[in-house]
Structure 1
Amino acid sequence: MITVTSAQLSAWLALFIFPFVRILAMLASAPILGNRQVPVRIKVGLSILLTIVIAPTLTTQPNVDPASALGFLVIIQQILAGLAIGFTMRLIFTAIEMAGDIIGIQMGLGFAIFFDPKNATYVPVIAQFLGILAVLIFLSINGHLLMLEALIDSFSSFPVNSTTSSAIALHTLVSWGGSIFSNALQLSMPVIGTLLMANTALGILTRSAPQLNILAVGFPITLTVGFAAVLLSLPYIVPLLENIIHASLNTIQHVMQLLGKS
């Protein structure tokens, strides 16, 4: 007769529950898989499947009872670790959409908006276009696989334990949040510079010919120049986006190492 003690059952539960919580938190906050269009049952099922694959390979086994107060603290810690991974990767697409917002406003397309079901809000058409482009680039360079690799490596850098979180790691994560503005500015700078020169030329033309109807002439010119600048800058967006993705992965690794040293 096979008998299972409460200590063995607690150890088995700890082996799967703690990694499952981190994986589920990452999938819930990660780009693409974390979108609202993806059903919850798919996220939970994929998290269970990944847990079954990853949990037996962990070198450091958790020795905390999940039903204890310390186990509840570890669960919260795993949720924060998973959210940190997903949040870091989601900032890439936030920067892309912010760049599209800036470009759309500069082109005069601030009124041309579409409903974004991913974020349940309205975004300019340029931001929607760049967001779709970012998703395609992310999948083409196997960004989803790189994200899963970073998740698996996080269990080595930051194993499941009961240590407290490091303030330096949290500061590093918050600092990476500020990269939204710098990355968005880098992505939108070619179009902004081109439109600045076009608007300067239109301003000089208006001063030299006051009878010219700038509203009737300037808007089509701004749109044409803006779309041309976006078209010419598309080949340079791909390598820049790849650099941002790899920087995000390095940030995840650095944050997990800091958490592991706490």
Structure 2
Amino acid sequence: MEFLGIAPDTVLSFLLTLFRVSIVLFMLPFYGGDTIPRSVKAALTLVVTLAFWPHLSLPGSAFPTHPVSIILMILGEAAMGLTLGLIVHFIFAAIQTGGQIVGFQMGFAMVNVIDPITGTSEAVTAHFLWMVAMLTFLTLGGHLYLLFAVTKSFELVPPGSLFITPAVAGRVLEFSGQMFILAVRIAAPIMVSLFLVDLGLALVSRAAPQMNVLFVGFPIKVGVGFFFLGLVFTIISNYMGRFIDQFLAIFDSLMRLAA
């Protein structure tokens, strides 16, 4: 029975696309931020769905008929969105963790700001590096790669056929471990430079005990830290570029393990 000249299979095919796009897209960075109004998210979801749907040709018969099957399908889509979102969030979390280490080393442990994405308090250097990473991600077209990954997911994992396997969980844990290694690599130049500053100040305090090293050392550490922080931008752009180049291959392997 058609309604307004639209066949039921067409409506169900559109709903299959809408479910995945709406769930997965809201779990990704930039698209699913809390700072974006819900009305804008809803409009973006409809626009993206209408752009994807004619090229996917999903059969309406693939839509589950039993309520339990529909719930399981939604849970599977949520698991896919969570997996994809975690892989992308790891690179930003690594940069934020590196910024947190840098802020502590520079003496900015008490200078915190509220992260508009997560609503948590973090060091000002961590938030600054996060903004730099996000701008680099958008400049390199990372948001377009995310949309391409969503379209690719329909080919690799049809709606309702995602299963979280131990292999997928192991890969996600592996990426989470790499997050801390990347954080140390990003913060390493500043950590070494500030260690040398502390070493120099210690030698000065031994040679001239009457000098107030704490009064002189704080602005020196801040100046040296900001100088090397500017050099870290190149490191961030290199890591972000490598991540974007390898993102589709990583996503492809995860989806093949999960399907």
Superposed, 1:25-36 pairs within 5 Å as 25-36=23-34
Superposed, 1:157-176 pairs within 5 Å as 157-162=156-161, 164-176=163-175
* Other-structure match for 2:189: 190
* Cα 1:92/1:196, change in 2 over 3 Å: same
For the 8 Å contact 1:92–1:245, the answer to whether it is kept is: no
Per-residue CA deviations over 1:65-97 (Å, capped at 9, x if unaligned) read 254322321121011112221222122222221
* Other-structure match for 2:90: 91
Q: Select the residue among 47, 50, 53 that pairs with 1:52.
A: 50
Shift in Å, 1:163: 5.5
Task: Work out whether 1:204 is the aligned partner of 2:203.
Answer: yes
SS class of match (2:62) = coil
* Cα 1:122/1:128, change in 2 over 3 Å: same
For the 8 Å contact 1:26–1:84, the answer to whether it is kept is: no
* Other-structure match for 1:127: 126
Shift in Å, 1:248: 4.0
Residue ranges of structure 2 left out of the alignment (5+ in a row): none
Shift in Å, 1:42: 1.8
Residue ranges of structure 1 left out of the alignment (5+ in a row): none
For the 8 Å contact 2:79–2:164, the answer to whether it is kept is: no
Per-residue CA deviations over 1:196-230 (Å, capped at 9, x if unaligned) read 22112222322333333221121111111111111
* Cα 1:16/1:165, change in 2 over 3 Å: farther
For the 8 Å contact 1:73–1:162, the answer to whether it is kept is: no
* Cα 1:134/1:254, change in 2 over 3 Å: same
Shift in Å, 1:13: 4.6
Per-residue CA deviations over 1:215-259 (Å, capped at 9, x if unaligned) read 112111111111111123323331122113334443222211211
| Number of equivalent positions | 255
With normalisation by structure 2, the TM-score equals 0.88
Q: What percentage of aligned pairs have identical amino acids? A: 28
Q: Which moved more, 1:101-110 or 1:224-233?
A: 224-233
Q: Which amino acid aligns with 1:204?
A: L
Q: Which moved more, 1:53-62 or 1:185-194?
A: 53-62
Superposed, 1:1-262 pairs within 5 Å as 3-4=1-2, 9=8, 11-58=9-56, 61=59, 63-162=62-161, 164-260=163-259
Q: Which moved more, 1:59-68 or 1:118-127?
A: 59-68
* Cα 1:23/1:170, change in 2 over 3 Å: farther
Shift in Å, 1:123: 2.0
Q: Which amino acid aligns with 1:20?
A: L
Q: Which amino acid aligns with 1:68?
A: P
For the 8 Å contact 1:150–1:249, the answer to whether it is kept is: yes
Once residues 258 and 59 of structure 1 are traced to their aligned partners in structure 2, the CA distance between those partners, rounded to angstroms, is: 24
Structure 1: which 4+ aligned runs deviate by more than 6 Å? none
Once residues 78 and 233 of structure 1 are traced to their aligned partners in structure 2, the CA distance between those partners, rounded to angstroms, is: 37
For the 8 Å contact 1:66–1:72, the answer to whether it is kept is: no
Q: Which amino acid aligns with 2:151?
A: I
With normalisation by structure 1, the TM-score equals 0.87
Once residues 17 and 24 of structure 2 are traced to their aligned partners in structure 1, the CA distance between those partners, rounded to angstroms, is: 11
Q: Which moved more, 1:96-105 or 1:154-163?
A: 154-163
Shift in Å, 1:181: 0.9
Once residues 206 and 63 of structure 1 are traced to their aligned partners in structure 2, the CA distance between those partners, rounded to angstroms, is: 75
Shift in Å, 1:28: 1.4
* Cα 1:134/1:168, change in 2 over 3 Å: same
